Amino acid sequence: MTIDWKKEVEARKDDLISDLEALLRVKSEREDDKVTPDAPFGPGPRDALKKMLSFGERDGFVVKNVDNYAGHIEFGSGEETLGIFGHMDVVPAGDGWDSDPYEPVIKDNKIYARGSSDDKGPSMAAYYGMKIIKELGLPLSKKVRFVVGSDEESGWGDMDYYFQHEEKPDFGFSPDAEFPIINGEKGNISLLAHFKTTNDGTYTLNSFKSGLRPNMVPGSATAVVELPAESDFADFEAALTAFTDEHPVTATLSKSGKTVTIELVGKSAHGAHPSAGINAGTFLALFLDHFAFAGGAKNFLHVAGAYMHEDFDGTKLGVAYRDEKMGELTMNASLFNFEKNATDASINMNFRYPQGTTAEKLEAGLAETIGAYDVTTTREPHHMLPHYVPVDDPLVATLLSVYEDHTGQKGYEQIIGGGTFGRLLERGVAYGAMFPGFTDTMHQANEFMDLDDLFNSAVIFADAIYRLAK
């Protein structure tokens, strides 16, 4: 049977866009201060999950909501289950948008909104692939289950809970990356560097805040500093102006007596690609490290400014490592927190590491290089080991074949630093929805998805699901 998948997607383009716009309007940022038994990650992720599941109910699929942690949309029958994994939660919108991040705007054949490319747009494209197969009544020999998550951008607590109650699919993919395929993902761990808050220098660091999530390059940073005297303000202001003239950041400065507040702006980016951003936290630390702070405050600023600043591969921290297949380790200094009267200050270092090194080796390297600054490290609980599915696995081979048939381009394996739900399964990969040469706006202001990419990915997903499950 020959099916014109492109024609089928064309017939449903308006409905696809309408459903996607409804999903994008849900502000599905995790909000821990609004968690309830009914909303385990806050109301936004819950509402987006329920919205996505409602499409499955409308279209006649078997739908299950697992206590608002996650859910699934399913059809077909058979002994094996093909899993498709998407997520409805998004990273915080942050600043710098040209439009409301939760009111989708279509401009220049692109749809702009938080979540448009990560991961609501790709998820909707994959869902419509399932929908086409169901509506055409095509025969399947396997179950097809779209698993919908709501905590992918944070701790994956959604999947931990879901798989306590539901069996894992046998194989599958996550539409949360790029084509031709992602069949390998680096390990992912966050290590916290802990500092004392002693603060007896000529200058006093009252507070230092930067970052929104471990998987985001901080786009802004704020510090409150007490100067030795109010008369030192002019020199401090001149030094800040000279610094911003020399570096790719902007800053604003305000004062109240001897106390000054510095707000510095860089550029956010995905934490898997720290060199694509301008880390406002390390730049602000680099600036302040030139002043006469002391104790824990000095150590905090010096380690951030001298060791973490633009240390994208961990060389200055003494943990650099490269694997021939998986490439280089990357490090993103992501969350900075210093309060003068607190018992502890910390900086979150998010590492994406290849096979061949380990969390233990990272901790040992950090102890050797920054331990002298009275630094201790602890691990965050969410730790993912390196993951790889061989290119000759039938799953990978089939998905590459589908990609080649629809694009005319040769498929090839890829290994990334990002972590996707594809790694939930031993035979799991990430597949689409971005095409080679795409502009990466994930985790950035003015996130968008190209509409041609959206529709073309739906074509590929439909054919891929059918070939894997027919």
> Would strands 387-388 and 177-178 be described as parallel, antiparallel, or unpaired?
unpaired
What residue segments make up the domains of the chain, in order of their start?
5-185+386-469, 188-379
Separation between Cα atoms, residue 291 and residue 302, nearest integer Å: 10
HEC readout, 224-255: EEECCCHHHHHHHHHHHHHHHHHCCCEEEEEE
Asked if residue 247 has pLDDT above 80, the reply is: yes
Separation between Cα atoms, residue 199 and residue 145, nearest integer Å: 55
Separation between Cα atoms, residue 170 and residue 356, nearest integer Å: 27
- Percent helix, strand, coil in the chain, to 5, is 35, 25, 40
- The fraction of the chain above a pLDDT of 70, given in percent, is 100
Residue range 251-309, pLDDT digits in tens: 999 999 999 999 999 999 999 999 999 999 999 999 999 999 999 999 999 999 999 99
User: If you average pLDDT over residues 380-403, what whole number do you get?
Assistant: 95
Asked whether 149 and 158 are in contact (CB, 8 A), the reply is yes
Residue range 448-459, pLDDT digits in tens: 999 999 999 999
Which residues, including other chains, have CB under 8 Å from residue 33's CB and lie 6 or more apart? 42
User: If you average pLDDT over residues 177-200, what whole number do you get?
Assistant: 96
Residue range 46-64, pLDDT digits in tens: 999 999 999 999 999 999 9
Q: Which two tokens stand for residue 194?
A: 């802990």
Calculate helix-pair angle for 120-136, 13-24, nearest 10 degrees: 140
Asked if residue 1 has pLDDT above 80, the reply is: no
Q: What architecture is the 188-379 domain classified under in CATH?
A: 2-Layer Sandwich (3.30)
**CA distances (Å), 329 to each of 75, 153, 352, 355, in order?**
40, 20, 6, 9
Phi, psi of 126 (to 5 degrees): -65, -40
Per the prediction, the chain carries an average pLDDT of 97
Q: Which two tokens stand for residue 339?
A: 């309060």
Say how many Å lie between the first and final Cα of the chain, rounded: 11
Separation between Cα atoms, residue 287 and residue 304, nearest integer Å: 10
pLDDT at 382: 84
Secondary structure (3-state) at 161: helix
**CA distances (Å), 37 to each of 6, 186, 397, in order?**
43, 33, 43
Residue range 66-106, pLDDT digits in tens: 999 999 999 999 999 999 999 999 999 988 999 999 999 99
> Would strands 327-328 and 322-323 be described as parallel, antiparallel, or unpaired?
antiparallel
Q: What is the DSSP letter of 42?
A: B
pLDDT at 327: 94
Q: Which two tokens stand for residue 203?
A: 């200058």
Separation between Cα atoms, residue 397 and residue 393, nearest integer Å: 6
User: If you average pLDDT over residues 360-378, what whole number do you get?
Assistant: 97
Which residues, including other chains, have CB under 8 Å from residue 340's CB and lie 6 or more apart? 197, 199, 204, 205, 206, 207, 297
pLDDT at 419: 84
pLDDT at 59: 98
Helix H or strand E segment including 229: none
User: If you average pLDDT over residues 217-234, what whole number do you get?
Assistant: 97
> Would strands 184-185 and 204-210 be described as parallel, antiparallel, or unpaired?
unpaired
**CA distances (Å), 46 to each of 29, 52, 54, 87, 158, in order?**
10, 10, 12, 11, 11
Domain 5-185+386-469 identical in fold to domain 188-379: no
pLDDT at 105: 98
Separation between Cα atoms, residue 173 and residue 122, nearest integer Å: 12
CATH of region 5-185+386-469: 3.40.630.10
Q: How many CA atoms lie within 13 A of 425 on its CB side?
A: 21
Active site residues: 89, 152
pLDDT at 155: 86
Residue range 135-165, pLDDT digits in tens: 999 999 999 999 999 999 988 999 999 999 9
Instruction: Determine how many CB atoms are found less than 10 A away from the CB of residue 456.
Output: 20
Residue with tokens 């705007």: 105
Q: Which two tokens stand for residue 109?
A: 């054949």
User: If you average pLDDT over residues 170-193, what whole number do you get?
Assistant: 97
Asked if residue 249 has pLDDT above 80, the reply is: yes
Asked if residue 323 has pLDDT above 80, the reply is: yes
Per-residue confidence at 418, pLDDT binned at 50, 70, 90?
A: confident
